[in-house]
Amino acid sequence: MIFMTILVTFADLTHTGKTVDANFFPLGIAMVASYAKARLGEAVEVEIFKYPVDFSNFLEKRIPDVACFSNFSWNMNLQHHFATCLKKRHPDTVVIFGGPNFPLAFAEQEIFLRHYPAVDFYVDGEGEGAFCNLLESLMVEGLNSDRFKAKESCPANTLYLWNNRLFRGEMLPRILSMDDIPSPYLSGLLDKFFDKTLFPIIQTARGCPYSCTFCHDGIEYLNKVRRFSQGRICREIDYIRDRHVSPNLYLSDSNFGMAREDLDTARYVKDLNRTHGWPHSINVSTAKNNKERVLKLSEILGSMIRIDASVQSTDPLILANIKRSNISLDKMTDISRFAYKMGARNASEIILGLPGDTLDAHLKSMLDMIDVGIQEIRSFQFILLAGTEAASRESRKRFGYQTRFRVLPRCFGYYSVFGASFACAETHEVVIGGHGMSVEEYSICRAFDLTVEIFNNGGLFEELLFFLGQHGIKRSQFITQIFESGYVAQGCMVDIYQGFRQDEEKNFWKSYDDLKNFLRQDHVVERYLSGEYGTNQILHYRSLAILRHMDVISTLAFDVGRMLLDEVHSLTSTAREYLHDLRLFIIASKGDLTDPEKRITLHSRFDFIQLSSGHFLDDPMQFMSQEPISIQLCHSEARRREVVRVLEQFGCSVEGLAHYFQRASVFSLYRKPRYMTYVEI
């Protein structure tokens, strides 16, 4: 019988050294806390933490009986250091870790637990029920972990070391009714995280039916998708709406739009937007292989949603190696065109260096997505994540990975616990070559990916691309020629490409031990904090190009555009005039993004406001007048306030804007045109 109330802390800590890295509510571990509180009642007191400083301040006043940590690749070392200090100061505190950043193989799980000795128990898989079972068993033993382990019996989903052996329980069946997990929002457990920094996020469904080898959700255990009730989903959205500090709604679902009920959620969110002006957009990964429902999503939500056409690769051999299938390129094109017509944005993801990847295969995948009309093609490096099939010893041997080690961008800093400061950084392993791709070919691919990031993504030169398309010039021709002119021919962007490559090479180490030894040197973390090391190179150099070199990249884009038009005999005098004015329009709309007060006046014979209203799909010659039309590009007052809030959250630096590119759509930072009145002129 339980007679005492025990204090249980739940931490999903984020690095805050340079900026708040994982800037979302700690939803996953809050669900475990909410479930435990509902099941164990007054027997437990729960406290949830996200910021290291808050957890450190709490530990100065109170010590938990049980300390739980949610383990991801971006916070493992930080949390283990807290756990180590806690165990050293208070060895009776039971430390429990859980989360996806954990190996699949039994032998590798044992190595993991030996490498992180402060971890008393690891809960694998779905954590709510398994954690409560473990905690109840520990409470029977007076929270004495050694006494519990000595019995050599192991609760389901739980692993621990005892007498130099690894014990592992059987896996529990997953929760059938997701509403059995009380909402941490509706119970108030997450109220303290409504600040100006963290994004509230909800989950409408858990699990993924696909088996991608590179992804945590691809394991068989998570293949069944279980949904929360529609009523609960709507109540959580309302709860966030009443307290929102972010203009957007974030969902953690892997395949939004796969279930019929997702359309009900979309309609509910759209109604809120009409009646309350919130949310401005919904950020979620949309369904991969359900064309009809994804089209319906874009029809309902329009510009509020970004439609994903994530492919990872379009090469059949690579797709077979990673156990993935994609819808046809024709269907993707249909989705892209319809989404654009509805005002929705679209995006795709491609991973460089997947098993069997080659230079030609990667470039073809990128060009395929460009010609499909994808506005945001994000190329990721292939990171070997613990707990995925692709990171197994068998996969490493079969595909001949060449890898390097580095510190995760923004995942470093100085922290303090029990009055002692410490430096900390997170690391991961990146594939930079294999049986089909040399390291030099990998570097060429990365330079091409940077080209796509700058010249395709974010619609920076979308108006130009539409005009070229009207004359039969494919987007892939434009991007390829930009790459030839800017990179291969060592043209005007040579400094950007060279800086990008040198920065990337500088941040790679051949072995984990080499990187670990480097991090042990005095003041190394300060070099990461200063920006000398540790950037997300692709996004950093995209941000640098837009903020500091807009004149250079726009000149290159329009030089290439004129050359391609000349090749098809379409470079008329009016086309030249239009291209001249269009470049000025793009710079006025999309330059100086960190100046929300800026207003730029343009005079042109082309009616850019009419062209904008038609998304630049119309022939600009139809909107050409005899006399110049005066327009001004600026933010509305409401949009200006939004931009100010974004800049307050992310900062105005190159690195701050790069972080924003990763989290949200840059379109909200672009100025809109309006006609000037006679008095203003």
Structure tokens at 104: 């699949």
Question: Is the model's pLDDT at 357 over the cut of 80?
Answer: yes
State the average pLDDT over residues 592-609. Answer: 96
CA distance 64 to 138: 14
Query: What single letter denotes the amino acid at residue 559?
Result: D
Instruction: Pick the closest to residue 306 from 597, 678, 666 (CA basis).
Output: 666
Instruction: Pick the closest to residue 534 from 17, 89, 185 (CA basis).
Output: 17
State the average pLDDT over residues 571-594. Answer: 97
Please provide the average confidence, as pLDDT, over all residues in the chain: 94
Question: Is the model's pLDDT at 230 over the cut of 80?
Answer: yes
Percent of the chain with pLDDT over 70: 99
Question: Is the model's pLDDT at 606 over the cut of 90?
Answer: yes
Whether 430 contacts 515, CB under 8 Å: no
Structure tokens at 257: 């739009």
The rounded Cα 569 to chain-centroid distance in angstroms is 43
* Residue-range domains of the chain with CATH: 6-168 (3.40.50.280), 178-463+506-531 (3.80.30.20), 549-675 (no CATH)
Helix 27-40 and helix 127-140, axial crossing angle in degrees, nearest 10? 50
The pLDDT assigned to 221 comes to 77
CA distance 434 to 440: 11
Q: List, in sequence order, every beta strand (DSSP E) within 124-183.
A: 158-162, 165-168
The pLDDT assigned to 3 comes to 58
State the average pLDDT over residues 358-365. Answer: 98
pLDDT band for 249, please (50, 70, 90 cuts): very high
Element (H, E) at 48: strand 44-49
Structure tokens at 415: 């922290």
Q: Which residues pair with 428 in a beta bridge?
A: 406
CA distance 42 to 3: 10
CA distance 189 to 192: 8
Return the residue matching tokens 């991007």: 479
Residues in the chain: 681
Instruction: Pick the closest to residue 249 from 277, 230, 216 (CA basis).
Output: 277
Query: What single letter denotes the amino acid at residue 660?
Result: Y
Whether 656 contacts 19, CB under 8 Å: yes
State the average pLDDT over residues 355-372. Answer: 96
CA distance 106 to 204: 32
State the average pLDDT over residues 162-168. Answer: 96
Q: What does the pLDDT look like over 501-548, one tens digit per residue?
A: 999 999 999 999 999 999 999 999 999 999 999 999 999 999 999 999
Q: Which residues of 295-304 are buried (b: 16+ CB within 10 A; e: fewer)?
A: bbbbbbbbeb
Q: What does the pLDDT look like over 71-91, one tens digit per residue?
A: 999 999 999 999 999 999 999
CA distance 29 to 35: 10
Three-state DSSP at 323 gives coil
pLDDT band for 353, please (50, 70, 90 cuts): very high
Full-model pTM: 0.90
Dihedral angle computed from the Cα positions of residues 634, 638, 640 and 646, in that order, rounded to the nearest 10 degrees? -140
Dihedral angle sign, alpha carbons of residues 382, 387, 390, 392: positive
Query: pLDDT higher for 3 or 443?
Result: 443
pLDDT band for 680, please (50, 70, 90 cuts): low
Q: What does the pLDDT look like over 432-486, one tens digit per residue?
A: 999 999 999 999 999 999 999 999 999 999 999 999 999 999 999 999 999 999 8
Q: What does the pLDDT look like over 286-318, one tens digit per residue?
A: 887 777 888 899 999 998 998 888 899 999 999
Question: Is the model's pLDDT at 498 over the cut of 50?
Answer: yes
The pLDDT assigned to 488 comes to 83
Three-state DSSP at 676 gives coil
The pLDDT assigned to 28 comes to 97
State the average pLDDT over residues 385-405. Answer: 93
Query: In sequence order, what DSSP letters do the residues of 238-307 get, joined into one string?
Result: HHHHHH--SSEEEE--SSBTSSTHHHHHHHHHHHHHHHH---SEEE-PBPSS-HHHHHHHHHHHGGGBEE
Instruction: Pick the closest to residue 199 from 255, 263, 270, 252 (CA basis).
Output: 252
